[in-house]
Structure 1
Amino acid sequence: MDILTEALSSMRTGQPTSVRTEGRAPWGLRLPPVAGAGFHVVLYGTCWLVPLDDAPGLAPVALSPGDVVFLRDGRGHILADHPDTPAVPERPDQFRPSLPIGTVSIGGDGPRTSLLCGNYHLDQGRPHPLVRQLPEIIHLPTRHGRHPELSAAVQLLGAELENPRIGSTGIVPALIDSLLLYILRAWFEDRPAATAAGWAAALGDAAVAPALTAIHEAPSTAWTVESLAGRVGLSRAAFARRFTHLVGEPPMAYLTRWRMTTAARLLRESEAPLTTVAAQTGYGSEYAFAKAFKREYGQAPGGYRREARTA
């Protein structure tokens, strides 16, 4: 069980969207907040990412060729050739449709910068704690041999966008979709497991990681703290302390969270009857499941399903 993939899949509410941004100095583009997580990939040239004034504590970030930046909450920000360059909002007349994705062009006649900009549609109303613990901005330089898999994905994207050929329309969205996993893998692997806190350590912990895998693989199992502790060879108390410290909530609270997350995904993505959804998430009756679901989501499962289908 790949917990990172499962956690992200549980939050997805749609396919990623993206646009290529072509700037020639002087240029500055003000980007509004997006529903989900934002990202930028520098394909050519250099630029700055400047957080808006409502983001105290976040400093401008200098970006170089091959760099990737991830904005956890999709907050509004500015991209510019220099932090002091005035920024303008994105306008429809700057957009040129093209294959495999559209292009926004802005600026004067100075040095060129080319970026891939976009967002991943993630449910930020109920973020998985793995995502919630990420920094607001993740900056991953890929030059000088750092993060070779991420660097390879960026190079492939750049090649497809510079020279679209047969198949590019299918290849580019797939690469953008995979990019999110490469970004988060690189960030987690940069955190030494022995010193990191939270999920960066939990995913590599000899006791907590197998327990998380068991919960994700079989949410319908009648897990208890004792049974999970027994699987990893710890006492009930020692396991509970270790799990809570790294994951940020007790084992049974996380089990309930994952059961409800799994149920919500089944309701959104399948036609399974409520009795089946209840059984697959560890509830002995539709009534018990509906009561737990309403307590967690504030509405009955049937209403949630109807609302999700019409959104």
Structure 2
Amino acid sequence: MLCGTFELGRHHALLLRALPEVVHLRTRGRDDYAGLHALLHTMRHESQQASPGGDAVIAHLSAALFTLVVRTLMDQGDLQQGLLALLMDARVGPALAAVIAAPAEPWTLERLAEVSRMSRASFARHFAELSPATPMDVVTALRMDLAARLLRETPRSIEQIGEACGYTSRAAFGQAFKRVHGTSPAAFRRQAG
């Protein structure tokens, strides 16, 4: 058994809400988990040694472990609702993939349904079976996740980031950002350092 904590930060709330509260993977006797076993073995070894760079190795292996756990949950079909369930769904997944690929596009329910080759009503009904959020709420959440990342990692202006996330005015972007993150884009950038 290996215990630890993943700290993703509040800007990754969309991903965290997509995961179950408790994840328990049983790997005994399953050859398809050989990579996971090897990763855990290496993490255990690094945590017991006082080798230079050990903390960096553990941090990177932890990211890989998190990815493998999410992949395993997806493979096992344990994600019945939320963002990952939507992305895995053959009917609505293409629409969300399109939003992720082009967040600045003027997405509407009609366009999302069109990308998924469904009627607007069928798309909305099927979406509701997989997510408590509306399609447009998910579009906004994806855009705001991107906005938070751009504010933290790039020197782009707030207007440029708003445009990259599909907003034509700084005011509209600021209102949406504050509604999701609880603070203005400028304050978020200052807090992120």
TM-score scaled by length of structure 1:
0.55
Give the 3 Å change call, closer, same or farther, for CA 163–191 of structure 1 in structure 2: same
Which has a greater percent of strand? 1
Matched, 1:178 2:61: no
Greater CA radius of gyration, 1 or 2?
Answer: 1
Matched residues in 2 for 1:187 and 1:279: separation? 34
Matches within 5 A, 1:292-307: 292-307=176-191
Question: Does the aligned pair in 2 maintain the 1:201–1:246 contact within 8 Å?
Answer: yes
In structure 2, the partner of 1:147 is 33
Q: Which stretches in structure 2 are left out of the alignment for 5+ residues?
A: none
In structure 1, the partner of 2:80 is 197
Matched residues in 2 for 1:174 and 1:126: separation? 18
Aligned length: 191
Question: Does the aligned pair in 2 maintain the 1:147–1:186 contact within 8 Å?
Answer: no
Which has a greater percent of helix? 2
Pairwise CA distance, 1:275: 1.3
Deviations 1:16-61 (A, max 9, x none): xxxxxxxxxxxxxxxxxxxxxxxxxx2xxxxxxxxxxxxxxxxxxx
Give the 3 Å change call, closer, same or farther, for CA 161–197 of structure 1 in structure 2: closer
- 1:267 maps to a residue whose letter is L
Matched residues in 1 for 2:105 and 2:73: separation? 32
In structure 2, the partner of 1:134 is 19
Pairwise CA distance, 1:246: 0.9
Question: Does the aligned pair in 2 maintain the 1:150–1:186 contact within 8 Å?
Answer: no
Q: Which stretches in structure 1 are left out of the alignment for 5+ residues?
A: 1-41, 43-114
Matched, 1:187 2:70: no
Pairwise CA distance, 1:203: 3.0
In structure 2, the partner of 1:93 is none
Matched residues in 1 for 2:5 and 2:170: separation? 37
